[in-house]
Structure 1
């Protein structure tokens, strides 16, 4: 029997780099906001039983007022307030998981170009290994520099991968890992790092370079052009 999957979709970031006057997930592309394109990729998968949408406290009432009815059609069962840091937002989402959830996927609301096959591959790998993330091999040459912007050394790229989402985990493994860092001042850039900190190995699933996180206006233009083709 296939494991039930829940998705936590964080959308609570400050969006400072975009400078659009509205948080990135709510920027319109065509006739709908970015996060609806992202939700579509997950709600179509039969194994996904629920999506927990994590938003900034300032946005929650607006999201409920504008989209609560529509979100039900996208399997969004809860609209949860995020925390000060991303890890706090994810922890809040974990506390609202359905009791029957076995696999948890975490995916950025502003990665609308992820492919269904990639999502399914992460789920399968998480079932087998306990933890897995989507990532792509590093293509660029990476330089380590000092405070004067002078090159110290070139970092070999053959074993470097760029982390993406979704990131998938067995529920108990992820919850226990987050419980272990709750209340600390440590900063974690993604969920895999929290699980690594707890001593667990995380597998890699090769993903597409198109699966960008929309952060800048240039990213937005690229996403607009690619979503039109989809």
Structure 2
């Protein structure tokens, strides 16, 4: 069985402020993206990784980090697109045609665990489509346009989607081919698969699999690494 990984890090990272994009922010002595690559390289089931970044970052990556990329099974660096789904599609176009399963992961989720990666892979074997997610703990309010609360949403069936999101290769390629020119902006890959009418299953994860979007997230990630 062959498993390919598409690591997506082509966003502008504007929410962080400053001039350093999120994948290249320093975390515990090295860039965020290297932590993520290292975590995936610990999983023996993965045969290759496609790294999707902004076109402006490719040359710098190759100049500064090529030895690390080779160590962590990075087969190719490809430029991202205008939207996240465009970036993912660009990555999918370069995966091994003999791959059985594809994992799609936000490169700015550097605290993913080997056991979680393997759990998603195993669930995809059973179901064709599975994502890591954490149960909703907060009380969620639905509001109307003037910020007046319309209702409290029952949280017992609510889960917060994370990555990796895993799919049978043939399935995810079929779905992306179907919607690649769609004007609708999908917020994650599983939404696109759901939209195509396929069931997607959840693998329970934890809140520690954070996505680096703010300076506070960097500080939290530092604390979690030291824990």
TM-score of the superposed pair, with normalisation by structure 2 = 0.98
Q: What TM-score, normalized to structure 1?
A: 0.97
RMSD: 0.9
**Partner of residue 131, structure 2:** 133
Question: 1:114 and 1:59 mapped to 2: Cα distance?
Answer: 23
Give the aligned partner of residue 84 of structure 1.
82
Distance in 1 (CA, whole Å) between partners of 2:135 and 2:223 is: 23
Query: Structure 2 CA distance, aligned partners of 1:137 and 1:70?
Result: 34
Deviation at 1:69, TM superposition (A): 2.1
Q: Secondary structure at the match of 1:17?
A: helix
In structure 2, stretches of 5+ residues that fail to align are none
Q: CA contact under 8 A between 2:43 and 2:117: conserved in structure 1?
A: no
1-structure distance, mates of 2:197, 2:147: 35
The match for 1:28 is 26
Q: What's the secondary structure of 2:5's corresponding residue?
A: strand
Aligned to 1:204: 202
Query: Which stretches in structure 1 are left out of the alignment for 5+ residues?
Result: none
> Which of residues 161, 185, 188 in structure 1 aligns to 2:186?
188
In the alignment, the residues of structure 1 paired with residue 60 and residue 120 of structure 2 have an alpha-carbon distance, to the nearest angstrom, of: 32
Displacement of 1:165 in angstroms is: 0.4
Shift of 1:29: 1.6
Q: Using the alignment, how far apart are the partners of 1:69 and 1:62 within structure 2?
A: 13
3-state SS of paired residue (2:218): helix
| Counterpart position of 1:147 | 145
Tell me how far 1:83 sits from its aligned partner: 0.2
> How many Å apart are 1:32 and its aligned residue?
1.1
SS in 2 for 1:127: helix
Structure-1 residue corresponding to 2:55: 57
Aligned equivalents of 1:179 and 1:197: distance in 2? Answer: 13
* Equivalent position SS for 1:61: helix
Take 1:152 and 1:21, find their aligned partners in 2: how far apart are those partners?
Answer: 40
The runs of 4+ residues in structure 1 deviating greater than 2 Å are none
What residue is the counterpart of 1:124 in the other structure? 122
TM-fit CA distance, 1:20: 2.9
Q: CA deviation at 1:228?
A: 2.5
User: How far apart, in 2, do the equivalents of 1:212 and 1:20 lie?
Assistant: 21
Structure 2: distance between partners of 1:61 and 1:211: 29
